[in-house]
Amino acid sequence: MIDQKKLYKEAMSVLKETSRTFYIPITFLQKDVKHTVAAAYLMMRAIDEIEDHEEIANADKHAMLMATSKLLAAPTFDNEAFMQVIASVKDILPEVTLRLHDWITFCPEGSRRIVCDATSEMATGMAKWAERNWQVHTREDLDDYTYYVAGLVGVMLSKIWEWGYGIKTDHDLAIGYGRGLQAVNILRNEEEDMDERGVSFVPDGWSRDDLFRYADENLAKGDLYMEDISKRTVLLFCRLPLALAHRTLKALKEGREKMTRAEVEATVKEIENS
């Protein structure tokens, strides 16, 4: 029998190690919804580590992610089969990936299908983009990429809010919310992505100002998305990443690389006290 208390402690510990940015807003949520969102983050981080790993060839990433997508879409996740999928690289993958089955188990049964389906869809998208070496050429490419890595997270969260609290939100605005956060990440990491990976997420012919406009357009949808949410804990969860994205974008427009630590801490305190 699984010790849920032990699994909860381990899940939150791994979550804190892998993302301080999302750890804080997740702690604002209440029990079942909190467990669902924490499990979702860990499951998506698990597949992201395969997509991002420098020592795994793109063709292998594609094969592993497609196989994992099928396992996640199945009625019951087959952990033995997953371990076979990653067998050739398990020694170089982090704990968060090796324990994918634990995070699925940690997710409340009532919301597990929502999270598994979203993670399965994300794995398919990641597989496609790994095969294409993440080469973005058009606005449609950028929309497709940002949907798979972030927009669909917004849709999944909307489904979780409805499952947990009966809150109905606009799914198109939810996609914009996710895309906006991702667009800011792309802007912040543009040089690093090109220098270290030879990857550009900027469409052909676009200037940095075009990418700023893309981020602004989608963050504006994120602002509208918030208007349908009345539950304070959910508002707190959604507000923090959105506020950090808006302020990071402002810093980038001013020619700075990122927000200062003091600005981040002030933003967190402001959202917590709102």
Give the H or E element holding residue 61: helix 58-73
Highest mean pLDDT among 17-31, 204-218, 229-243: 204-218
DSSP state of 226: G
| Percentage above 70 pLDDT, the chain | 99
> For residues 67 and 135, is the Cβ–Cβ distance under 8 A?
no
Give the CATH architecture of domain 134-274: Orthogonal Bundle (1.10)
- The alpha-helical segments, DSSP class H, found in the chain are 4-18, 20-27, 31-52, 58-73, 79-85, 95-98, 100-106, 109-131, 139-146, 152-165, 171-188, 190-192, 208-225, 232-253, 261-272
Residue 134: what pLDDT?
92
pLDDT single digits (tens) 235-270: 999 999 999 999 999 999 998 888 888 888 888 888
Query: What CATH number was assigned to the domain covering residues 1-131?
Result: 1.10.600.10
CA distance 49 to 94: 8
The whole-model pTM stands at 0.93
| Percentage above 90 pLDDT, the chain | 77
Tell me, rounded to whole angstroms, the distance of Cα 46 from its chain centroid: 11
CB-based burial of residue 144 (10 Å sphere; 0-12 exposed, 13-18 middle, 19+ buried)? Answer: middle
> For residues 51 and 126, is the Cβ–Cβ distance under 8 A?
yes
Residue 12: what pLDDT?
86
Where in the chain are the domains?
1-131, 134-274
Residue 266: what pLDDT?
87
Q: Say which residues have a Cβ less than 8 Å from residue 140's Cβ, sequence separation at least 6.
A: none
Mean pLDDT of the 154-181 span:
97
Residue 80: what pLDDT?
98
pLDDT single digits (tens) 10-24: 998 998 888 877 788
Its sign, for the CA torsion 168, 172, 177, 182, is positive
Question: Structure tokens of 229?
Answer: 């949410």
Q: What is Dmax (Cα atoms) for the chain?
A: 57
Residue 35 pLDDT greater than 90, yes or no: yes
Residue 206 pLDDT greater than 70, yes or no: yes
Distances (CA, A) of 117 to 15, 70, 95: 21, 10, 22
Residue 2: what pLDDT?
63
| Of 74, 54, 50, the residue nearest 62 (C-alpha) | 50
Amino acid at 105: T
Residue 191: what pLDDT?
84
Residue 124 pLDDT greater than 90, yes or no: yes
pLDDT single digits (tens) 76-121: 999 999 999 999 999 999 999 999 999 999 999 999 999 999 999 9
Residue 273: what pLDDT?
78
Average per-residue pLDDT for the chain: 93
